[in-house]
Amino acid sequence: MNKAILSKREQILEAGVSLLMQYGYHGTGHKRILDEVQIPKGSFYGYFKSKEDFIAEAITYYTEGFLSDLRRFLDSRSDNGFTALKKFYKSLISTKSNNDFNKGCLHGDMMGEVATVSEKFRDNLSRAVESYVTLLESGLKSGQEHGELRNDLSARAMADMLFDSWQGALLRSKLTRSVTPLEECYAHLFEDYFLV
């Protein structure tokens, strides 16, 4: 995102999301965020009441951007939902192959680190995951309606499997510093398991 057009609050959230994806909840303190966006400590509390409020808003901010990207693929008039999902996940693999593997998915990273720390975090993550899986379900349902995907599993069951498998592949990708786990997850689900 172009930082010149972001409000200061959005700049803090943007930097915070990036740092959280790289260093996690416990490794991302106020100072690291403030140094990144070059604002004094007191200013942080003018935008957020606490670190907990900031993290909860960062989860929402990340989710809105991520889901907007996914919707853009799903709204393509030239593709059915399944084809759109394949293109979306290929783009995620491509993006991952161009970065340093320190960053995963904020949803997965935060689920592992803070879901039990705060009810607010858990609620925000639960809503984020539900919104994500619902969009995946719509794309997979479209694939079923076009006769491309198996019908012995519900689109929801496949969407849950896709979410869970992808999160595991992202973690392995960080560990191996390779896109191979993502490519294998993609091939296993999109080119085999989900198909008729």
Reading the chain (196 residues) residue by residue, the pLDDT tens digits are 555 567 889 999 999 999 999 899 989 988 898 888 888 888 888 899 988 899 999 999 999 999 999 999 999 988 999 999 999 999 999 999 887 677 778 999 899 898 888 888 999 999 999 999 999 999 999 999 999 999 999 999 999 999 999 999 999 998 999 999 999 999 999 999 999 9
In angstroms, how far apart are the furthest CA atoms of the chain?
58
55 class by beta-carbon count within 10 Å (0-12 exposed, 13-18 middle, 19+ buried): buried
| Four-residue CA torsion sign, 15, 72, 137, 188 | negative
User: b/e per residue, 62-86, with b = 16+ CB within 10 A?
Assistant: bbeebbeebeebbeeeebbbbbbbb
Round to whole Å and give the CA distance between 168 and 109.
11
**Three-class SS of residue 43?**
helix
* Residue where the block lists tokens 């949803």: 107
pLDDT of residue 88: 98
Measured torsion, CA atoms of residues 22, 27, 29, 32, in degrees rounded to the nearest 10: -50
The closest alpha carbon to 79, from 20, 172, 179, 148, belongs to: 148
Round to whole Å and give the CA distance between 171 and 67.
20
pLDDT of residue 7: 87
Close Cβ partners of 169 (under 8 Å, ≥ 6 residues apart): 181, 182, 184, 185
pLDDT of residue 5: 63
One-letter amino acid at 156 equals: R
Round to whole Å and give the CA distance between 147 and 94.
28
pTM of the predicted model as reported, rounded to 2 decimal places:
0.91
Reported residue count of the chain is: 196
pLDDT of residue 166: 97
195 phi and psi angles, rounded to 5 deg: -80, 160
- CB of 149 closer than 8 Å to CB of 196: yes
pLDDT of residue 193: 98
